[in-house]
Amino acid sequence: MEQALLKKFFVALCVCAALAGVSLYYVSSGSTPEEPNGTDSPGSLPDLKNEAALNLALKSISLSQGEGGMELWRLKAEWAGLQKSEDLLVVAKPRLTYFMKEEGKVMHVSSDNGNIEQKARIIRFIDNVHIIQDDKSFDGDLLVYNGTEKSMNFPGGGKFSGKGMSGRAETITWFLDRRQVTAEGGVSVYFE
């Protein structure tokens, strides 16, 4: 009987050792049982616009900021990399939801890439930038959100459309608290 117990203990010990070995393999290789062969290894990180010296990379992040006890905005991104030397968070596929508290409306901002300077309260959306709020839309290649001024600026120009009109300009700025949009340089507006 003692020998049978010893045999069961030895088998259980071997199973535990095998499971520990498999777990150690997955941890050291950067893969999981659902994603074998290290498909989520550091080598498969997105380009993130060739940013130099990322100190930390995160998959699927969510950030939010509040004001006066209410959520002001929420940003989600597929990937993020911390560039500590410049205090910059570089993001891939950022999606921002901005809550217009005065109007009770929501604005959605998306782009291919971006970066966040948290101390300066600046978020840049880079490449294929698109904003939608109700029947209004804005498109451009670069959007700079200034959290101090609560403004969104297309410094490289963009196009806009709304109920019964569309247009373009070399610079477009949306002052969110004032609900005012200004456009400068080569402004064209078309009424439908």
- State pLDDT tens for residues 31-81: 443 433 344 444 444 554 444 555 677 888 899 988 888 899 999 999 998
In CATH, what is the architecture of 48-191?
Sandwich (2.60)
Cβ contacts of residue 177 below 8 Å, gap of 6+?
A: 102, 150
Q: Give the DSSP per-residue string, the chain.
A: -HHHHHHHHHHHHHHHHHHHHHHHHHHHHT-BTTBTTTTTSGGG---GGG-S--SEEEEEEEEEEEETTEEEEEEEEEEEEEEGGGTEEEEES-EEEEEETTTTEEEEEE-SEEEEETTTTEEEEEEEEEEEETTEEEEEEEEEEETTTTEEEETT-EEEEETTEEEEESEEEEETTTTEEEEESS-EEEE-
Whole-number pLDDT of residue 179: 85
136-190: pLDDT as tens digits: 999 999 999 999 999 999 999 999 999 999 999 999 999 988 889 899 999 999 9
- pTM across the whole model: 0.71
Q: What pLDDT sits at residue 52?
A: 52
Sorted by where each begins, the domain ranges of the chain are 1-44, 48-191
- Residue with the bigger pLDDT between 27 and 155: it is 155
